[in-house]
Structure 1
Amino acid sequence: MSGDAMPERPAMAAELALGLLEGTERAAALRLVLSDPGFAAEVDEWRVRLAPLYDGFAEIAPPQGLMDLIDQAIDAEAAVAMPTTVAPLPAAQGRWKMATFAASAIAAILALALVWPSPQNPGPVPQPSPDVAVAQLTGPIDGLLLTARYDSSTAEMLVRVEGMPVTETEPELWIVPADGQPRRLGRLLRGGVTRIEVAEGHRQYIDQVSELILTMEPKVLPDPDRPSAPTVAQGRLQRI
């Protein structure tokens, strides 16, 4: 295996999350998801990493002839990059290199399509760019991982929780801005995705210097304006 080839199992998890597997390989990976919780967790982790890349993009009808332009770009780049002698690649590495090669060409053509006039679209139409921030929260609890995504166009924060231990306390999410004073965002589900509508007064704190923290609180909060328990997970917000 060459230095840039991924181990077989992580590569399979990544390829399944990306939708690159087909036929018997996809069937084998899906059976492994059902039989092996560790592998299923790897697939979910890849999907969480990729989620910010797919969310928040409005659908745009492609101009006529876009596929022809993509094919031409791939053929032209392949003709230049094709070596005289081609050594066979391992199956997983080959798919990754082909996916990377095709993705680079497609990305270039799609970028061109956004500004290329078409008969139905005489000129580029500016698309609103939603203000999105993401954060990943980790801490001393082994296996606990939270992934948060905030979209200013809806003022909603989606928080995915994995590996939450069973306790008598409840998970509470807080935002800590530059002044160091935590503001409560809301109570989370112990697993899956929680949708939180961020209070209007707290939206101003969604910035690069703010952190999200998780505490495990009593079912009835002693003080809704500040945490009563230590932080068990934290992560800094990043705008994308």
Structure 2
Amino acid sequence: MSDLPPLDPPEGDGSDEALDMAAAEFALGVLDGDERAVAIRRVLAEPGFARSVERWRTHWAQLFDLWPAVEAPDLFARIERSLDRPVEAPIATLALAPPIRSKLWPALAGLSSIAAAGLLVVLVARPVPVPPAPPARPAAPVVAARAPTLVASIDPETAGAATVTAVYDAPAGTLRLTEAKLVGADQSAELWVIPADGTRHSLGLLHARGGTVLTLSRDNRARIAAGAVLAVTVEPIGGSPTGLPTGPVVAKGALAQV
């Protein structure tokens, strides 16, 4: 038994057992292909599913810390020892009565001699064809390593507001976010990335409806990494006029690799 506390049940936002199981598989990294694509779309579209994924990711991380790696047993030595054992006589042979065996073995030996002589004649009389050279196999295409997916749950500071989920598409250099209802109609919600050096860099403005897709500059793409923090501040309409945050932080969350 481990010292790991039991996993808290999913929050009561309509999630059922099937949703929580899909979130666990996505957080563990066992989904691939179409299943992985569906799970990423659900993270963007369903705040409850995104929270469940984050909850499972934290749970798996504790398990990995508690269970050290175990080296696989050496099976080759066991196989070699089993090959050195003497071959036991078949049960059917042992069960034959002595009179039957005395007649059966000479007959089988005679048939084997005839078959061997016939095979020898065929091999001597028939020339052995030279097998054609195997065709050259084309070189396997080099598959580029897939960039890891980064996801963040940007949690609001105000109780009752919806969590904003962000998914970074490294090949396209885009950041996709769910709708952000974090500020009033006479204000703008501006997204910032805070890398390890603690300096805030603007990524763009968020939409209150329909979600947001931000195409990042080359410099900001280099700042998007696991552990970097995404923060949302309240700014005047059109964003910060100074290039730095002018209003309070209303939501934030760290990027994590999936």
**TM-score, scaled relative to structure 1:** 0.50
Larger Rg: 2
